[in-house]
Structure 1
Amino acid sequence: MLTLKRFANPDVTRAFTNIVWLGLERLTQIGVAIVISGMLARYFGPDTFGKWQYANTLLLVLSPITWVCGAEILVPTIVSRPPTQLGTVLGSAFALRFSVSVAALLLTWLGIALHFFDPLVGAMLAGLAVTMLFREPFVGVINAWLQSMTYSKPQLLTSMSTAVLKAGFAYLLVRAMATPARFGWLWAAESAAIGAVLLIYYIRRHGGKLGWRLDRSLFKHFATAGTVFWLGLVCMYLFLKLDRLMLERAISFADLGRYSAAQQLNENWITLALMLAQTIAPAFVYRVQDAAQLRRNVWRLTAMTAALMVSGAIVLDLLAGFIIRSVFGPDFEGAIEIFRWAVWLSVPAGVEAIGNLIVLKYQAKFVLLSKWLLALAIAFVVNLLAISRLGAYGALVGLAAGYLAAASVNLYYIRFKLRP
C-alpha cells in the first residue's frame, strides 16, 4: 500500500518519469556519438580524426567558461521566487550567460586567427565554438526552468531528435565528401536548433510572449554566486581533457586519433556509471538525513559500483579488438591496447562519482574546488614525467593518479562529515 501511495504522489511520478527520459536521452546521445565517431574515423583517417578529436577537446575545455551561474544557483532561485518574477530571473541569467559566451567565442576565434592552433584544427574549432553561443544562454536557461518543474521531457526529447538528425546529416556530408572543416558547423546548427525549439516552447507556454527582463542586482548576484562551484567544474573538465592537451605536443595527430578513439568509447562507458550514480543519489544519499545510515549507504554503493566497473572492464578488455575494429575500422588497430588499459580507469572514476555525491549533498564547494585542483596538479606532473617515457600510456597513468587523488579527497571528507 505504501508503494502504491508513493507512486500515486504526483511529485514522485514526475521525478520517476524525468529519470526515465534522462536515461533515454543519455543512451541516445552515447549511441549517436559512437556511430558518428566511427563514421568520421573511417572517412577522415587517423591523422585528420586526431585533429577533429583535438578540436573537440579544445571545445570541451573552453565550454565550462560559459557555465557561470550554474543550475545549482539558477534552479533554486526560480523555485524560491514568485511566478511573476520568472521573466526577471531568466532574463538576468540569460544576459549574463550570453555576454560570457560571446566573449568566449570571440576569444576562441581570435586564437584561431592568430594561428594558435594547427590550421585544420582551427578551421574545425571555428564552427564547433559557435555551440557555446546557444548551449548555455538559450538551452541552459530554459532547461533550468524545466528542471525547476521537474519536467525535462521537452529538452530531452528535442536533444534526442536533433542528435539523430545530426547523425543523418553527418552521413550526407560524408557521402558528399565534404571537407573536414564543415563538420564543425553541423554541431553549431544542432545547438541553434535545440535553442530555437526550446525558446518557441517557452514562448508558447507563456501566452506568446518571452517577457525576459534584466535586473542589475540579480545580474550581479548571478555573476558572483556559485563562483567556487564554477571554478571547480572548470578544473574538473580541464583534468578530464588534460591527457589529450598534453599528448598533442608529444605524439603525432594520427596516434592522438587512435588514443582519442579508445578514450571516447571508454568515456561513454564511464558516463553510464555516472548515470547510475545520478539515478540512485536522491533515494540513497540526498534524502537520507541519519549520518549512520548515510555512511552505510555510501560504502555499499561504493562497493556495488566498484564491482560493476570491474565486471564491465573485464568484458570490455576481452572484447576490445572486436569493438575497436567494428566501430573505427582497421586503421585504428593501435587503439585496441590503449582501450584495454583505459577501461580500467572506470573503477576509480566510478568510486569517485559515488563519493562526490556526499560533497554535492552538503554543498561543500571548497572541497569540490580543492579536489579537482589537486587532481589537475597531480595529473599534470605525472603526465609531464610519464608521457615522455610511455607515450599515450603515460597519459593513462596521469588520469589514474588524478582519479585516485580525487577519490582520496572524497574519502577524507566522508570520514570527517559522517564520523560516528
Structure 2
Amino acid sequence: MLKRLANPDVAKAAANIVWLGLERLTQIAVAIAISGLLARYFGPDVFGKWQYANTLLLVLAPITWVCGAEILVPTIVHRPPSELGVVLGSAFVLRMTVSALALAATWIGIAAGATDPLVGAMLAGLAVTMLFREPFIGVINSWLQSMTYSKPQLMTSIATALVKAGLVYLFVRVAIAPAGFGWLWAAEAAVIGGVLVLYYMRRHGGTLGWRVERPLLRHFASAGTVFWAGLICMYLFLKLDRLMLERAISFADLGRYSAAQQINENWIALGLMLAQTIAPAFVYRVQDLRHLLRNVRRLIVLAAALMAVGASVLDLLASFIITRVFGPDYEGAISIFRWCVWLSVPAGVEAIGNLVVLKYQAKYVLLAKWVLALAVAFAVNLVAIPRIGSYGALAGLAAGYLAAAAVNLYYIRLKLQLRT
C-alpha cells in the first residue's frame, strides 16, 4: 500500500478523490438544504414547476456540450504543453458559439409561450448558466482533469455552494418571487467561471494565451459530433422520467417525485465525478491491456460497493430526510426516495465501464448505448407510468441503466478480455 501511495499518479488521484468527496458531501448537504427551503416556500405545485424548469435546462444543456471532455481531455493529455492554448482556445470558441445560440433559442421559445408561464420565467434565468458552464468552467475543468488535479474547481464549487445556500435562505426570508431564483443559479455559474479563469491565468503568466486554430476547430466540431449526439441521448434518458411524468401527474405530485430524485441525483453524481477524476491516471494513460482490464475490474467493484453502502444509508434515513427537510406535504416522496437511491448502483457501474468506451473513442458504441437506454426507458415508461405512476418512471430508469451497463460490459469483453 505504501509503495502504491508513493506512486505520483496514485497519490495525486487519492488527493483528488478526497477533495471530490468533500465537494460531493457539501453539494449533497447544500442540495438538501436548498431543496427543503424551496419546497416549503414554494409548496408542492410551484416546487414541481421549479423542478420541471430545471429538467428542461438539463435537457437543453447537452446542446452546448459539443467537443465534450471525452474529446478534450485525451487531446490535452496527448498534445505537447506548448499547444495547450490552441486546444483550449479552439474548444472555448466552439462551445461559446453553440451556447449563445442555445440560450437565444431557449429565450425565443419562452417568449413564444412554449412552456407554462411560471416555468418559462424560472427557465429564463436558469438558462443563462449555459453561457458559463461549458465555455468557461467546462474548458478549464478539462485542463484540470488532464492533470488529475480538480482541487481548484472543487474548492470553488464548495465555496459558491455555501454562499448560494445562504442567499437562497435570504431570498426566502424576503419573499423573492419564484422566478427570481433562477438568476441566482446563473450568478453562481458566472462566479465559478470567473474564478477558474483567474486561476488559469495565474498559472500561465497572467494571460490566457488562448488562440483559435481553424483546423483544430473543425476537428473538434466534427470529431465530437457522434459523442455529442450520444450525450444528448444520455441526458434525455436521465430526464425522460420527469418529461413523461409531467403529462401523467399533477405538478404537485411531480414536485414530490422530484424532491426525492434531486437528492438522489446528487448522490449518483459522485460516481460520475469519481470516474472523471481517476480516468487520466488509471484508464487513459494505461496501455497494457492486462493492466487496464485489472484496473477496470477493480474500479467497477469499488464503484458498486461505494454506491451500495451509500444507498443503504440513504434508504435507512429516507423518512427522516423527507419529513424533516421537505415537510409533511412531501411524505409521498419517502417510498419513492427509498427505491430511487438504489439506481446509484447500476449508474456507478455504468460510469466506470464507460471509461473504456471513452478511452478508445468508441463513439458509435456510446451513441448506440444511449439510444438503446433511451428506447428501453421510453418503452418501459410508456407501459408502466399509466399503471403505477412515479414507480413506473423509476422502473424505466432502472431498465435503461441496466441496458447501458450491459453494452459497456460487452464492449469491455470484446476490447480487453478477449485480447489478453
Asked if Structure 1 and Structure 2 have the same fold, meaning a TM-score greater than 0.5 normalized by the shorter chain, the answer is yes
Task: For 1:342 and 1:292, locate their aligned partners in 2 and report how far apart those are by CA, in whole Å.
Answer: 35
Q: CA deviation at 1:200?
A: 2.4
Give matches, 1:114-153, under 5 Å: 114-153=112-151
Taking structure 1 as reference, are residues 269 and 90 closer, same or farther at Cα in structure 2, changes over 3 Å only? closer
Larger deviation: 217-226 or 345-354? Answer: 345-354
Q: What is the SS of the residue equivalent to 1:129?
A: helix
Sort the Cα spacing of 1:247 and 1:206 in 2 relative to 1 into closer, same or farther, 3 A: same
Q: CA deviation at 1:15?
A: 3.6
CA deviation after TM superposition for structure 1 residue 261, in Å: 0.7
Q: Distance in 2 between matches of 1:389 and 1:96?
A: 45
Residue identity over aligned pairs, in percent, reads 77
Q: What does residue 57 of structure 1 align with?
A: 55
Match of 1:248 in 2: 246
User: Aligned in 2, Cα 1:181/1:235: closer, same or farther, shift over 3 Å?
Assistant: same
1:77 is matched by which residue type in structure 2?
Answer: T
- Correspondence for 1:3: 2
Q: Secondary structure at the match of 1:69?
A: coil
Aligned to 1:154: 152
- The answer as to whether partners of 1:49 and 1:254 remain within 8 angstroms in 2 is yes
Find the aligned partners of 2:54 and 2:16 in 1 and give their Cα distance: 29
Q: Deviations over 1:317-344 (max 9, x none)?
A: 3432122112211110111121122223
SS in structure 2 of the partner of residue 158 of structure 1? helix
1:92 matched to which residue of 2?
A: 90
Output the CA distance in 2 between the equivalents of 1:327 and 1:238: 28
Deviating more after overlay: 22-31 vs 188-197: 22-31
- Preserved CA contact (<8 Å) 1:23 1:275: no
Change (3 A) 1:73 1:343: closer
Alignment CA distance shift 1:155-1:111 (3 Å): same
Look up the SS of the partner of 1:130 in the other structure: helix
| One-letter amino acid matched to 1:129 | A
Name the CA shift for 1:279/1:221 in 2 (closer, same or farther; >3 Å): closer
Candidates 179, 182, 199, aligned match of 2:197 = 199
How many angstroms apart in 2 are the aligned matches of 1:239 and 1:342? 15
Mean CA deviation greater in 407-416 or 367-376: 407-416
CA distance in 1, matches of 2:302, 2:76: 36
Q: Which residue number in structure 1 is paired with residue 111 of structure 2?
A: 113
Partners of 1:408 and 1:80 lie apart in 2 by 30
Question: Does the residue aligned with 1:249 lie in a helix, a strand or coil?
Answer: coil
The within-5 A match list for 1:8-407 is: 8=6, 10-275=8-273, 277=275, 302=300, 305-306=303-304, 309-407=307-405
Residue 288 of structure 1 deviates from its aligned partner by 6.1
1-structure distance, mates of 2:361, 2:75: 16
Select between 226-235 and 11-20 the one with higher mean Cα deviation: 11-20
SS of 2:67 mapped into structure 1: coil
> Which piece of structure 1 moves more, 246-255 or 230-239?
230-239
Residues 377 and 396 in structure 2, CA contact (< 8 A), matched pair in contact too: yes
CA 1:195–1:9: 2 relative to 1, 3 Å: same
> Which deviations, in whole Å up to 9, do the C-alpha atoms of 1:194-247 show, x marking residues without a partner?
112222233333333333322222221111122222222111111011000111
Q: Which moved more, 1:38-47 or 1:343-352?
A: 343-352
Distance 2:273 2:325 in 1: 23
Distance in 2, Cα, partners of 1:74 & 1:279:
14
The Cα of 1:50 is off from its aligned counterpart by 0.5
Distance 2:300 2:149 in 1: 29
Q: Distance in 1 between matches of 2:149 and 2:187?
A: 25
Partner secondary structure for residue 206 of structure 2: coil
The structural deviation recorded for 1:97 is 0.7
Q: Amino acid of the residue matched to residue 213 of structure 1?
A: R
Alpha-carbon spacing, 1:74–1:292, altered in 2? closer, same or farther (3 Å): closer
- Partner letter of residue 186 of structure 2? A
Which amino acid is 2:109 matched to?
G
Is 2:148–2:278's contact at 8 Å kept on the other side of the alignment? no
Alpha-carbon displacement from aligned partner over 1:98-137 (angstroms, at most 9, x marks no partner)? 1000000001101100111110000000000000001111
Q: 1:301 and 1:195 mapped to 2: Cα distance?
A: 31
Contact 1:273-1:305 at 8 Å conserved across structures: yes
Judge conservation of contact 1:76–1:148 (CA < 8 Å) in 2: yes
Given that residues 375 and 406 in structure 1 are in contact (C-alpha distance below 8 angstroms), is that contact kept between their aligned partners in structure 2? yes
Which runs of no fewer than 5 residues in structure 2 stay unpaired? none
> In structure 2, how many angstroms separate the alpha carbons of the residues matched to 1:357 and 1:315?
27
Pair 1:293–1:139, CA change in 2 (3 A)? closer
Q: Distance in 2 between matches of 1:276 and 1:202?
A: 23
Q: CA deviation at 1:283?
A: 7.2
Tell me the TM-score normalised to structure 2 length. Answer: 0.90
Gaps of 5+ in 1: none
Question: Following TM superposition, by how much is the alpha carbon of 1:376 offset from its aligned partner in structure 2, in angstroms?
Answer: 0.2
